[in-house]
A and B are shown apart, each in its own frame.
Chain A
Amino acid sequence: MAPQSGRLRVANLRSQLAGPFDLAIGEGECVAITGPSGSGKSLFLRMIADLDPNQGEVFLDGAERRSIPAPAWRRRVVYNAAEPGWWSESVLDHFRGATTTFARAMAPRLGLAPALLDGPVVRLSTGERQRLALIRALALDSPVLLLDEPTGALDEQSTKSVEAVLRERLAAGVTIAMVTHSPVQATRLGHRHLRMTDRHLVPA
């Protein structure tokens, strides 16, 4: 039986590569997923965002994914990759309209110099890219965030500032599923902690 409650509800979600998965996450809840590399953590998040072919159902506030056009679904259930992609040379091209203002306000909070936004992507360090990609995803103001190792490339201080921002979002009711390699972070931020073993989810 699939879970009945929760803002984000995953029922019998599976593909040839992973699953089946059943999971319900409530409003303002953070589920942390740990597990060895290649165990299917990213695949799971990508399937929820409907980026990879899959079967099964995912509901957001009771509405099944297939009843919503895919781009609109992905704007509400936002997947942020561990190694974010950049589609233009300039950093600013990755932000549109009002999200630019948001990015300028958010950058210093994550320890990023505001001037970075006006430069080229090639000049960014891995950690800077990771934080800017997170800002890009946060700017959509989506009810669900699927974060794939959001602090994987960050030092302790930056990790703390990212976690503070995520905690704010949780307090505002945002639902988060987060893949992390750090069990400490999983307990610090996650209300629940799940483990991916051999492409299946089990309680940690």
Chain B
Amino acid sequence: MNPILLTPVDLAIASVLIVLDGALSLVLRLGLHRQLAWAALRMVVQLVLIGFILRWVFAIASPLVTLAVVLVMVAIAGREVAARPEQRLGRFGNYAVGASAVAIATFLTAILALTTAIRPQPWYDPRYAIPLAGIILGNVLNGGSLALDSLLGGVVREQSAIEAQLALGASFSQAMRGLIRGSVRRALLPIINQMSAAGVVTLPGIMTGQILAGMDPLEAAKYQILLIFLLSGGSGLAAVAVVYLAAMRLTDDRQRLRIDRLTAKSKGSGP
């Protein structure tokens, strides 16, 4: 299978569509043409840059460099998970929770896939490890941030309900059970939607890419199935990890609800 390689001219022709969008913005006075041009330019620069970086990383094939690249990706995803919720855990809690949950979920699912299903030689070959970590991270980020937002928001909203249970002698984990369940549930809904829509409503990205690159549709489907399994596993792990790590930070040795450790996001501050 040989992918049909694109030339810069091919891309230039396709870019006419962006110009068309810009023209629409001018004609309909949407005021979007500047943003559109800037976003398109940014996208091209980012992707070309990452193309060069990956080419270099693949060429040197050093496990340490691969690990470093994956760790940078995990750190960025962890930051995103931490930034989403309106509420912030004290002492950089959101960041610690986000990054550890993202790391646990991504490493576990990626290593499982690399050592059992995909099995490149060696298993940490960056050509497989990095894109795989990337796609898992995207979903783990989604699941993790939904779970964290739901848990922290819920704790503030349901403070009196949680404390009423504590006051009647419930343990902290009993008092939090409903909220924890709801948060994990909310984090898993997108992946369930994605699975039920796969192939009927949408042709998933990986499968589309591989078919365009010349792979047999059935082979591409198998790859997609494997990946969706990994993504749902990753999302679930991330959601559970986020929820329990955050809950641990919301209590103390006397099983109190430490709402005082949460502050509402102030505009412009980091996680």
Subset of 22 A-B contacts with CB under 8 Å: A51-B163, A51-B166, A51-B167, A52-B256, A53-B252, A53-B260, A70-B256, A71-B170, A71-B255, A72-B169, A74-B167, A78-B168, A80-B167, A81-B160, A81-B163, A83-B160, A85-B160, A85-B161, A87-B158, A87-B165, A88-B178, A137-B167
The residue among A50, A74, A137, A140 with the most chain B CB atoms within 10 A of its own CB is A74
1/0 per position for A170-181, CB-CB distance to B under 8 A? Answer: 000000000000
B254 at the interface (CB under 8 A from A): yes
A136 at the interface (CB under 8 A from B): yes
1/0 per position for B148-173, CB-CB distance to A under 8 A? Answer: 00000000001111111111111100
B119 at the interface (CB under 8 A from A): no
Chain B: CB-nearest residue to A65: B254
CA–CA, A84 and B167, complex, Å:
10
Chain A: CB-nearest residue to B253: A70
Q: Please indicate the chain B residues that have their CB under 8 angstroms from the CB of A79 in the complex.
A: 167
Select A70's contact among B159, B162, B163, B254, beta carbons within 8 Å: B254
Given A52-B256, A53-B258; A74-B169 close (CB under 8 Å): yes
Q: Please indicate the chain A residues that have their CB under 8 angstroms from the CB of B159 in the complex.
A: 85
A23 to chain B, nearest CB (A): 19
Contact B164 A84 (CB under 8 A): yes
A144 at the interface (CB under 8 A from B): no
> Nearest 4 A-B pairs (CB), nearest first?
A75-B169, A85-B164, A85-B160, A85-B161
The residue among B162, B168, B255, B257 with the most chain A CB atoms within 10 A of its own CB is B168
**CB-contacts of A24-77 with B (<8 A):** 49-53, 69-72, 74-75
Q: Please indicate the chain A residues that have their CB under 8 angstroms from the CB of B161 in the complex.
A: 85-87
Contact B166 A74 (CB under 8 A): yes
Contact A75 B162 (CB under 8 A): no
Q: A74-B169, A85-B162 are in contact. List 13 more A-B contacts (CB 8 A).
A: A50-B254, A70-B256, A78-B168, A79-B167, A81-B163, A84-B160, A85-B158, A85-B159, A85-B161, A85-B163, A85-B165, A87-B161, A87-B175
1/0 per position for A158-186, CB-CB distance to B under 8 A? Answer: 00000000000000000000000000000
B180 to chain A, nearest CB (A): 13
Q: Please indicate the chain A residues that have their CB under 8 angstroms from the CB of B171 in the complex.
A: 71
Chain A: CB-nearest residue to B175: A87
Contact B178 A71 (CB under 8 A): no
CA–CA, A87 and B181, complex, Å:
13
Contact B166 A75 (CB under 8 A): no
Given A52-B256, A53-B256, A53-B258; A71-B164 close (CB under 8 Å): no
A67 to chain B, nearest CB (A): 12
Contact A70 B168 (CB under 8 A): no
Q: Please indicate the chain B residues that have their CB under 8 angstroms from the CB of A83 in the complex.
A: 160
Q: Please indicate the chain A residues that have their CB under 8 angstroms from the CB of B163 in the complex.
A: 51, 81, 85
Select B164's contact among A53, A75, A86, beta carbons within 8 Å: A86
Contact A78 B167 (CB under 8 A): yes
CA–CA, A137 and B160, complex, Å:
15
A60 to chain B, nearest CB (A): 13
Q: Please indicate the chain B residues that have their CB under 8 angstroms from the CB of A72 in the complex.
A: 169
Q: Please indicate the chain B residues that have their CB under 8 angstroms from the CB of A136 in the complex.
A: 168
B169 to chain A, nearest CB (A): 3
CA–CA, A10 and B161, complex, Å:
27
Given A53-B252, A53-B256, A53-B258; A140-B168 close (CB under 8 Å): yes
Contact A140 B160 (CB under 8 A): no
CA–CA, A87 and B162, complex, Å:
7
**CB-contacts of A131-145 with B (<8 A):** 133, 136-137, 140
Q: Please indicate the chain B residues that have their CB under 8 angstroms from the CB of A50 in the complex.
A: 254, 256
Contact A51 B256 (CB under 8 A): yes
